[in-house]
Amino acid sequence: MAEYYLYIKSIHLIFVVSWMAGLFYIVRLFIYHTEAQEKPEVERDILSAQFEIMESKLMNIITTPAMLLTIIAGISMLMINDGLMQEPWMEIKLCFVVGLVAYHMICVGKMQQMRRGIYKWTSTQLRIWNEVATIFLFAIVFLAVLKDAVNWIYGFIGLILFTLIIMSAVKIYKYSRMKK
């Protein structure tokens, strides 16, 4: 089975990319769906119906299957190379993966809320939410590539700084949109 490890790792990476693309795009659709609620009724109804179709297909055909295949491939790699579970960085990485799965489930819940006509978050809040996936992505990739939990403090400080930069960019973008 060890001879298949790199094939499984390749599958894992391909589906990580697909999963992340789906998560980034689904929240973008949520933003447009939320902003469509400010349109006149006829336009709002047409846009909402279209966004519901797009969100459902994206989540059910691409994003959720990609998440499941990512997890299956990841578990397969851990089974083949059980020494990975002894590595401190892997434990931290898996905590971030659990966080990303929770993020995914929250997105599923948001999609279901919008389908019922419930829009609890503004488009600005959704833009900030979209950046949370980016933070998870950075943390997971850096841990997987650097394989170093000892320098976790530096990584955490970098993650906080990165978060502040992203949040600032969202605020600047909102300010520039409001000026137009």
Name which residue leads in pLDDT, 15 or 3.
15
Is the pLDDT at 54 greater than 90, yes or no?
Answer: yes
Percent above pLDDT 70 for the chain = 96
- How confident is residue 149, by pLDDT bands cut at 50, 70 and 90? low
- How confident is residue 172, by pLDDT bands cut at 50, 70 and 90? confident
SS3 106: helix
**Buried/exposed 128-163: b ≥16 CB within 10 Å, e otherwise:** bbbbbbebbbbbbebbbeeeebeeeeebeeebeeee
The model's pTM is: 0.86
How far apart, in whole angstroms, are the C-alpha atoms of residue 109 and residue 86? 34
